[in-house]
Chain A
C-alpha cells in the first residue's frame, strides 16, 4: 500500500518539477499536477482490485449489508427463515430416510448382486421366499458365482443359564464367501459348516460382542443352547456388516444345517414347507441379468417343480432385480408413503420459494430508490444482483441451518410409521450425503428466490426515476406470477390434506363386513414342547371360562382375525375349469361354531359349523365372494373343494358374507373356512351391552391362573388391532394436514404481504380516488377484489396441478377419486377464506387513506 503511495507521490513530484521548469509558480505547479493526475483514491482502488482476493472484500461488504437488512426487516426475516426451515428440514429428513432405505450394502462388488423373486401363482405378487430344494437346484446354474440365502427368525437362546430371545439369521454355506465379508476375529461360516457335519458353528455380530462380551477374544469357543442343539461361537463379524435386510438387525448367524442340530429334522429338506430362504445371487463376470433372465424363463418352471407335476397349471416365474441395496420387506409398503411425503415437502419448499420470491420482488420495488442511488454511484448490474443474491443466500443459509435442526424432529415423527423394533436403524444420522442434499437445497432455493428479484431491481435501477411514483406494471406482473405460483403450490398442499383426510374418513367408516364394536381378543401362549392335544384342551377350557363370564354376551374361536395376516394358497375346486394361466387361490381361515353370529357376519346359505361336526367328516364354509367366483351363485351348498394328499372332496355346508381380510383396499376376497382352528387360535368375545371392553379385559385376565389353563394370556381390544391396520393412513393424513396448514399459512402470508405492500405503494393513487369521491367501502372492495383475483389465478393454475399430483397418490387413497369434487370444493373454500382473511387488513388500511395526507406526501 505504502509502495503505491510512494509511487504516486514520486509521480506528482516529477510533474511538479516539470511544471516549475515550465515557469509556473510552486502553487500553480502543484495544482496542475494534481489536476492532471486525477482521482488518487480511485486509482488506488483500481490497483487494489487487482489483488487475487479482492472479491472477498466485496463479499464482506455484501454480507455486512445483508445482515443489516435482515435485522432491519426482522418480520420478513422470521417468515422467510421459518418457511425455509420447514421446506428444507422436511426434504432433508425424508431424504435421509429414503437414502437409508435404498442404501448400498457393505459387501464386495455389490453391483454384481441380484435379488431373486419368484412368482408361483397367477394374480399374486412375487415374493422372495424359496425352499431349500429351490436353493439346491438354483445353485447348479452356471452363471451364478454363489447364492447367498438367508432366513431371519427370533428364537429363544440359552446362554450361560440365561434364556433370551435372540435375532438369529440362518445362512447358506456360500453366504459369507460370496458376499466377501470379513471376520473381526475367528472365522466366518462356509459350506463346510452348512453340511450335516458342521451345523453347530455360530458367528456373532460385532454389536453383540461389544454389548455382552466387552470385545473379549475369549468369546471364541463360547457355547449356547437353542432347543436341543449346542452351538459354538467360531467368529465375530466386522462392525460394518449387519446382514442383508434393512429392517432386521441379527445378533447371531447360524447355517441352515443348524436346524437338524436343534432338533427340527424335517424342515430343511421338506419342499412342502416353503418360506425358508430369501435369495440373492452373485453374477459371474460378463454375465448380464438379461441373459440369466432369458435362460431362466425356460428352465426355472421345471426346476421349481422338483420333478412333480405343477400344482395348479401355472408356470412359475423367476425375476432378477438389482441387489446392491439391502433387501427390505418394508420397502414397498413403506416407501410409497415416503415418496408421497417427499413430494409434499418438495411442494412446501417450492411454495416457500415462490412466497419469498414475491416478497423479495416487492422489496425490490420498495428499494428502487436505494438501487438507483447505487447504480448512480457506479454499481454494475452484476454487483446489484450479487447483493440480492447474498441477501437471499444468507436467508436460506439461516433457513437451512434451522431446517437441519427441524429435520431431526421431523424424522422422529416419520419413524412412527415403522414398527418400534426397526426405528433405531432408520433414526436420523447426519452423514455427508444428507448434508450435501440440504446444502444443495439451500443454494438452489437462494438462486430461485434471490436472482430474479435482484435482476429486476438492477434493471429498474437504471431506467426508472429514483423512488417515486406507483408500482410499475412490469414488476406487478412478476409479483403476480410468483404469487400465482405460490398459491398453486399451496393449493396442491391443501388438496393433499383434503384427499388424505377423506381417505382416512372412508377407512374408518367403511363397511368391513363385520361388527367390531367392543370386541376383545384373548390368546394363550404356545409352548412348542407340548403336544397339540394339550394346547387344544387348554384352549377349549379358556373358551368355556370366557363364555361363562357374566360380562360376556358371546365368545368363539377364530384362527385369523379380520385385517390381520391370513394363510393363502391354491386348492382345486371340483367342477371348475380354470382359464389358462388362472389359479384357484384363496385365503384360509378356521373358526369354531358361533363365530359368524358373534361377528355379525351374515349366514347367506346353508348352516354354521356345529360342535358335533368336530368328530364327523370334513366340511367347509366359504365366503360369498368365493361362491360367486367359482359357482356363479351364492347358494353353493353341496359343491366340493379338494385338498389333502388323498385328494378327498370336501363338501361346502355354508356360505357367509365377505369381510375385509388383510387390508381394506383389497375389496371382497375368496375365503375358505375350515372347522378346526390350530394351536394359534384366539378367543374372541363380545361384551354384554353396557359392559366396556376394558372391564371385559379385566375379567378375562385372571383366568390365566386357573389350573386347567395355567399359561400366559394376552388380552387386547380388537379396536387396537383395527387402528394398527390403518396406522400408516392415519399418519399420512396427519402429516398431509400439517403440510396443508403450512400451505394455507404460506398463502395467507404471501397474499397479505403482497396486498399490504401494494396498498402502501399506491397511497397516492388511493388518495386521488378518495379526493375524486370514491367512498372508503369502494376502496376496500377494490382491494378485496384484487386479492380475490390473485387467489383465482392461483386456483386456475393450481387445480390442474393438484389433479396431476393426486393421480400420483391415487393408489394410497381409499374410495376417493383423484379428482374428488368434495375435496376440490373444500380447497376452493379454504382459498377463498384465506384470500379474504389476507385482504382484510390491507383493505381496512386502504379505506382509511387520508387524501390530503397521501397527496402531500407525494
Chain B
C-alpha cells in the first residue's frame, strides 16, 4: 500500500458523520458505505473497512439507523442500513457542528489579514 502516505486518517468522531451522510440518499449495505466514502473523497480518506461495523452497530443502538437483510446489486445477501427520523436530525446537528469546527480550524490556520 504505497499510496498510504497520501491518505489521511479520519478525525475522531467524523466516521459517524460520514456514515450518516452516505445513508442520506437511501439505504445501503456496509461495503457500499465504505466504497462510497472512499470514492467520494477521491481515495483521500483512509477507512479500514472493519472499523465501519462497530460504528454502524453503535449508530443503530442509538436509534439513528435501522437495518434489514436484503439482496445486493451483486445478487448477494447483505445487511442494509437506512437513516431513521432521529438519524436525519442527528445528521443536521453533526453537519453544522462539523462546519463550525472546520471554520474554527481554518481561521486558526489562515488568519485573515486585517
Contact = CB atoms under 8 A, between A and B. Distances in A.
Contacts of A14: 29, 31-32, 72, 74, 76, 78
A527 interface: no
Interface in A26-41: 35-40
A47 B49 contact: no
B79 interface: yes
A11 B51 contact: no
A15 B49 contact: yes
Interface stretch (A1-9, A78-86, A661-669, A807-815): A1-9
Given A10-B78, A17-B74, A18-B35, A38 B49 contact: yes
A169 to B, nearest CB: 66
Contacts of B31: 10-11, 14-15
A42 B50 contact: yes
B58 A10 contact: no
A31 to B, nearest CB: 12
A47 B50 contact: no
Contact of B54 (A15, A18, A50): A50
Given A7-B53, A14-B72, A37 B77 contact: no
Interface in B20-61: 29-32, 34-35, 48-51, 53-54, 57-58, 61
Contacts of A18: 35
A3 B53 CA distance: 12
Nearest to A3: B79
Contact of B53 (A13, A17, A35, A47): A47
Contacts of B30: 7, 10-11
Contacts of B51: 38, 43, 46
Given A10-B31, A10-B76, A17-B74, A47 B54 contact: yes
Contacts of A35: 1
Given A14-B72, A18-B35, A50-B58, A4 B53 contact: yes
Contacts of B57: 47, 50
A37 to B, nearest CB: 5
Contacts of B58: 50
A8 B53 CA distance: 8
B11 to A, nearest CB: 19
B50 A43 contact: yes
B61 A6 contact: no
A50 B61 CA distance: 8
Nearest to A36: B49
A464 B71 CA distance: 54
A13 B54 contact: no
Contacts of B29: 10-11, 14
A595 B9 CA distance: 105
Nearest to A39: B50
Contacts of A43: 50-51, 53-54
A80 to B, nearest CB: 40
B77 A40 contact: no
Interface residues of B, number: 22
A40 B50 contact: yes
A10 B49 CA distance: 12
Nearest to B29: A10
Contacts of B53: 4, 7-8, 11, 43, 46-47
Specify which of B31, B76, B77 lies most central, judged by the most chain A CB atoms within 10 Å of its CB: B31
A17 B88 CA distance: 31
A43 to B, nearest CB: 4
Contacts of A47: 53-54, 57
Interface string A31-68: 00001111110110011001000000000000000000
Interface in A155-180: none
A582 B72 CA distance: 106
B70 to A, nearest CB: 11
B50 A38 contact: yes
A254 B50 CA distance: 85
Nearest to A8: B53
A51 to B, nearest CB: 9
A7 B30 CA distance: 8
Contact of A38 (B48, B77, B78): B48
B50 A10 contact: no
Contacts of B35: 18
B34 to A, nearest CB: 8
Contacts of B78: 7, 10, 14
Nearest to B32: A14
A4 to B, nearest CB: 7
A85 B34 CA distance: 59
A18 B72 CA distance: 13
A410 to B, nearest CB: 51
Interface in B60-95: 61, 72, 74, 76-79
A781 B58 CA distance: 63
B73 to A, nearest CB: 9
Contacts of A7: 30, 53, 78-79
A36 B50 CA distance: 8
Contact of B79 (A10, A15, A37): A10
A40 B99 CA distance: 33
A53 to B, nearest CB: 13
B48 A46 contact: no
Given A18-B35, A36-B48, A37-B49, A6 B77 contact: yes
Interface of A: 3-4, 6-8, 10-11, 13-15, 17-18, 35-40, 42-43, 46-47, 50
Interface of B: 1, 29-32, 34-35, 48-51, 53-54, 57-58, 61, 72, 74, 76-79
* Nearest 7 pairs of A and B residues by beta carbon: A38-B50, A46-B54, A14-B31, A43-B50, A38-B48, A37-B49, A10-B78
10 contacts: A7-B30, A10-B77, A13-B74, A13-B76, A14-B74, A14-B76, A14-B78, A18-B35, A37-B48, A38-B50
Given A35-B1, A47-B57, 9 more contacts: A4-B53, A7-B78, A11-B29, A17-B74, A18-B35, A36-B48, A38-B49, A39-B50, A46-B51
